[in-house]
Amino acid sequence: MKTTAKTVMLESIDPATDQVVGHVTVTPPDSIPEIVQHARQAQHAWSKLTPAQRADIIRPAAATLEEQAEELGELLTREMGKPLAEGVGEVRACAHGLAEELDEIIQAVAPQQLDDENSSTTLYHDPIGVVAAITPWNFPMMMPQWMVLPALITGNAVILKPSEQTPLIADAYAKILMDVLPEGVLQIVHGADDQGKVLVDSDVDLIAFTGSREVGEKIMAASAPGLKRLILELGSKDPLIILEDADIEAAAKYAARNTFRNCGQVCVSTERIYVHHKVADTFLGKLVEETRSFVVGSGMEPETIVGPMIHAEQKNHVIQQVEQAVKAGAKVSHGGHEMPGNFVEPTILTSVNHDMDIMIRETFGPIACVQTIENDRQAVDLANDTIYGLGASVFGKTSHAEQIARQLTAGMIGINKSVGGSSGSPWVGARKSGLSFHKGPMGHRQFCQVRLISTPKENS
């Protein structure tokens, strides 16, 4: 942060070049209670509108996002580091999602009628009040939208606190929405831990947070005295199981893509690979072949597939895990070479086991850890040997893979594919990967207070 005579400025740094991209004004922590109070006042009138009326107010923002996709995508890439095509794609996905999801949210929270022989009940999904949305840097526009959009359409006021690593793109996104919204319904708070702590302790009604398990636990503890509602998407250590009857080429392509995409900085990146011993050599050969084609560099370069880590601290964590694993007996089958700046070469480790930190603690980097298994039982036991449970994938003949999938503890399991479900599916974790969930009708309702109004039947 940079201090001037009157204000504190937060600088956004390009992780590929360490150059300053821009800056925003840091929100003074002591101003946050007033911001929350302003949100509460604005929410009163906002809540009186129907979901359809609120959606109609927000709907024009989709066209603005689409019109500015190239410009905003470049800003996103310069701030976060992902390849430019993915940065522009994230903005366009938000534009498309905003246009498509509004009606889905409206339908999800429509009143429902329940009747039996004695009574007639109407089930309502009402606003909760003021929502604090604390979002991460790895999908710096998509994750705010996952929280902000359903919170607003369901009648809440929102205070968005984006990651201090990517404030510019989140600020641009929020201002596009703020341009069409009534004043005070959406506000943005910039800063780091101090602002986050004050916001969590403030008079908000629900906290939606995506980030580390450690921070999620602190938020949960701080929220306990007020019994605040929580939506927490936390860490993960996603496994990929490759069965003896798998399509090995397809499995290797998926493993490479899902391990190294966004430099491994994805909540559902593949972090552990368990491959049947009879196909292990073939799989490893194809995985190495796929990985060799991944060009590392600035996201602004058109040939780049893998951009930088977000900052030096995250890079050091990844390198330290790799070095510890190698000292403990892991073998480097590809990569592992030192790279300058915040870059990490896509690396494949074999001869790994669960005595190593890299197989237990979240890495969040471009490291593929491949462990050979003897049978299905061992695959399930190892995949479930974690405190986490966000996603998992199984590659094999469909019926066989389904049997394995039903034994896994993850919230989302893909068979011969990624973990994402069909349209309308929630984004949900198990164990210490989170609490409540996002997306789809079930996720949208997490931002609501369920309320029942029942009347007796006249003939009862």
CATH number at residue 150: 3.40.605.10
Q: Is residue 273 part of a domain?
A: yes
Confidence of residue 459 (pLDDT cuts 50, 70, 90): low
Answer whether residue 154 shows pLDDT above 80: yes
How many beta carbons lie within 10 A of that of residue 89, not counting itself?
16
Active site residue 117: no
Residues 122 and 265 in one domain: no
Tell me the mean pLDDT in the region 356-361: 98
Residues 105 and 126 in one domain: yes
- Cα separation of 442 and 313, whole Å? 36
- Cα separation of 353 and 218, whole Å? 30
- Cα separation of 247 and 261, whole Å? 21
Q: Is residue 71 part of a domain?
A: yes
Exposed / middle / buried, residue 459 (Cβ in 10 Å: 0-12, 13-18, 19+): exposed
DSSP string covering 195-227: HHHHHHHSS-SEEEEES-HHHHHHHHHHHGGGT
Residues 280 and 186 in one domain: no
- Cα separation of 12 and 79, whole Å? 7
Tell me the mean pLDDT in the region 251-278: 98
Q: Is residue 330 part of a domain?
A: yes
Left (φ > 0), alpha (ψ -120 to 50) or beta: where does 246 sit?
A: beta
- Cα separation of 454 and 401, whole Å? 46
Which positions ≥6 away from 192 have C-beta within 8 Å? 1, 10, 164
Residues 200 and 263 in one domain: no
Of the candidates 398, 376, 393, 360, the one whose C-alpha atom is nearest the C-alpha of residue 276 is 376
Q: What is the 3-state secondary structure (H, E, C) of 16-35?
A: CCCCEEEEEECCCHHHHHHH
Provide the pLDDT for residue 458: 79
Which positions ≥6 away from 336 have C-beta within 8 Å? 322, 326, 345, 347
Q: Which of 86, 90, 164, 233 is catalytic?
A: 233
The token pair that represents 441 in the structure block:
């009708």
Domain that holds residue 52: 2-234
Backbone angles phi, psi at 233, to 5 degrees: -110, 115
Residues 303 and 401 in one domain: yes
Answer whether residue 265 shows pLDDT above 60: yes
Residues 12 and 44 in one domain: yes
Tell me the mean pLDDT in the region 185-213: 98
- Cα separation of 78 and 80, whole Å? 6
Residue type, 227: L
Q: Is residue 432 part of a domain?
A: no
Answer whether residue 334 shows pLDDT above 70: yes
Domain boundary pick from 218, 234, 250: 234
Answer whether residue 3 shows pLDDT above 80: no
DSSP string covering 330-392: -EEEE-----STT----EEEES--TTSGGGTS---SSEEEEEEESSHHHHHHHHT-SS--SEE
Tell me the mean pLDDT in the region 145-168: 98
Residues 357 and 249 in one domain: yes
Percent of the chain with pLDDT over 70: 98
- Supply the pTM of this predicted model: 0.96
Q: Which of 94, 267, 369, 448 is catalytic?
A: 267
Q: Name the DSSP letter for residue 182.
A: P
Backbone angles phi, psi at 323, to 5 degrees: -60, -40
Which positions ≥6 away from 251 have C-beta within 8 Å? 240, 242, 283, 395
Active site residue 233: yes
Domain total in the chain = 2
Q: Is residue 272 part of a domain?
A: yes
Q: What is the CATH number of the domain that holds 295?
A: 3.40.309.10
Tell me the mean pLDDT in the region 280-291: 98
Confidence of residue 460 (pLDDT cuts 50, 70, 90): low
Q: Is residue 427 part of a domain?
A: no
- Rg for the chain, CA atoms, rounded: 23
Provide the pLDDT for residue 5: 44
Q: What is the mean pLDDT of the chain?
A: 97
Which positions ≥6 away from 422 have C-beta within 8 Å? none
Residues 151 and 283 in one domain: no
Q: Is residue 176 part of a domain?
A: yes
Which positions ≥6 away from 122 have C-beta within 8 Å? 111, 112, 113, 114, 452, 453, 454
b/e 345-369 (16+ beta carbons within 10 angstroms → b): bbbbbbbbeeebebbbbbbbbbbbb
Residues 154 and 293 in one domain: no
- Cα separation of 66 and 93, whole Å? 9
Q: Taking each helix axis as running N to C, give the angle between helix 51-58 and helix 142-153, from 0 to 180 degrees, rounded to the nearest 10.
A: 140
Tell me the mean pLDDT in the region 403-411: 98
Residue type, 181: L
Domain boundary pick from 234, 260, 281: 234
Helix (H) or strand (E) holding 11: strand 8-13
**pLDDT by residue (tens digit) across 6-52?**
689 999 999 999 999 999 999 999 999 999 999 999 999 999 999 99
Residues 258 and 303 in one domain: yes
Write 399-406 long-range contacts (CB < 8 A, 24+). 400/243, 400/245, 401/243, 401/246, 403/376, 404/241, 404/243, 404/376, 404/379, 404/380
Confidence of residue 4 (pLDDT cuts 50, 70, 90): very low
Q: Is residue 280 part of a domain?
A: yes
Residues 20 and 46 in one domain: yes
Of the candidates 262, 314, 304, 310, the one whose C-alpha atom is nearest the C-alpha of residue 16 is 310
Residues 310 and 207 in one domain: no
- Cα separation of 377 and 190, whole Å? 48
